[in-house]
Amino acid sequence: MKQGVRLNNFIELGSSEAMKELAKLGIGVAIAARWIARGEIKAGQLIAQPMPKGKLKRRWSVSTIKDRPLNLPERTFIGLCEEVGRRMMAAQV
């Protein structure tokens, strides 16, 4: 409720296709990147409503096995994620 909106009923889906189909059926709305539904928007099946900048926050995380040292590819991946996150945050300002 930090943003002033309370969701009484919601579901989380692991499939963007399922999310789009439910929205097409009028069962609800979805929050996703515009490119996820580019084809459906172009075909007039869905519409996109812009989100106000800075109003929606998303938390990202990387999960690893507890007490196992990270190998070089894992450390590199995490470093790249952190760098991209910093650049994304700087671009929003």
Q: Are residues 24 and 3 in the same domain?
A: yes
Of these ranges, 5-9, 30-34, 54-58, the one predicted with the greatest mean pLDDT is 30-34
**Domain region containing 73:** 59-93
Q: Are residues 10 and 33 in the same domain?
A: yes
Residue 62, both tokens: 């990387």
* Count of structural domains within the chain: 2
The DSSP output letter for 67 is T
Q: Are residues 87 and 64 in the same domain?
A: yes
Pick the range with the lowest mean pLDDT from 8-12, 29-33, 45-49: 8-12
Q: How far is CA 8 from CA 1, 5, 11, 16, 72, in A?
A: 11, 10, 10, 21, 43
Q: Are residues 66 and 40 in the same domain?
A: no
51-70 pLDDT tens trace: 777 667 777 788 889 999 99
Q: Are residues 43 and 66 in the same domain?
A: no
- Count how many Cα atoms sit within 13 Å of the Cα of residue 67 in the half-sphere of its side chain: 0
